[in-house]
Amino acid sequence: FHEITPFTGLSIRGSVGVDRNTGKRTTYLPKTTLYGAKESGKASISTKERLDLLTNVVATYSTKLVDKHSFSAMAGYEFQRFEINGFGATNSDFLLDSFHWYNLAPGGAKKPTVFSSGGVESMASYFGRLNLSVSDRHLLTTTMRADGSSKFARNKKWGYFPSMAVGWRITEEDFMETLKPALSNLELRISYGSTGNANIGYIVTGK
């Protein structure tokens, strides 16, 4: 990540993250097992790769107003891309158990299995937040998100999710002075908003 401060109160932070995972699974059921005896030995091998890319840019501005009033604003953009690929094969009816999964070709199954799969998903988000504090007692927060996913139909890729919250920091009131040694912070907060998700699985690009 990298962060800059063009002037007092404003900071801009950008970050990039990459996460790559590779997995391999191998199995062999010998003829000495109940299921392996039915298949006359069964071998399988599969691999799976996943690549996640995340990048975002966030700008934050905060300032003190008169007395104990303060204001802050945040705006940002985020992009995520996920790729997944897999491949595998199985065979059975082996003459010897010694082949294991190292060599599937000697298997005599009538229909040995070979499969592959892949999926790609991308998401983009614009978001912003405004905070206003009056006398360190009365708080107002408004947020807005616009999230788009490649999974959805062309004319329905974006969703918009607003929210608002108001708070009252009761411990800052004069009548709470006697309780401050025992109670560091007491706040009443009410919020309302909407949210969503794109958890509908990957888009399969090959099989």
Tell the residue number behind the tokens 């040694």, with chain if given.
Answer: 181
Q: List, as one string, the DSSP characters of 108-139.
A: --SS-EEEEEEEEEEEEEEEEEEEEEETTTEE
Give the pLDDT score at 152: 85
Using DSSP bridges, classify how beta strands 158-169 and 138-149 pair: parallel, antiparallel or unpaired. antiparallel
At residue 36, φ and ψ (nearest 5 deg) are -60, -35
Contact 109, 125 (CB under 8 A): no
Give the pLDDT score at 201: 65
pTM greater than the 0.75 cutoff: no
Structure tokens at 7: 């002037």
In angstroms, the CA 165 to CA 197 distance is 21
DSSP designation for 156:
G
Nearest CA to 156 out of 196, 127, 192 is that of 196
Nearest CA to 62 out of 15, 3, 11 is that of 11
Half-sphere exposure of 164 (CA within 13 A, CB side): 2
Alpha-carbon separation of residue 79 from 15, 45, 59, 64, 99 (angstroms): 11, 34, 15, 32, 46
Nearest CA to 46 out of 96, 5, 104 is that of 104
Burial class (CB in 10 A: 0-12, 13-18, 19+), 191: exposed
What string of pLDDT tens digits covers the 207 residues of the chain?
Answer: 899 999 999 999 999 999 999 999 999 999 999 999 999 999 999 999 999 999 999 999 999 888 788 999 999 999 999 999 999 999 999 998 988 899 999 999 999 999 998 888 899 999 999 999 998 889 999 999 999 998 888 888 899 999 999 999 888 888 887 777 788 888 899 999 998 887 776 555 443
In angstroms, the CA 82 to CA 139 distance is 38
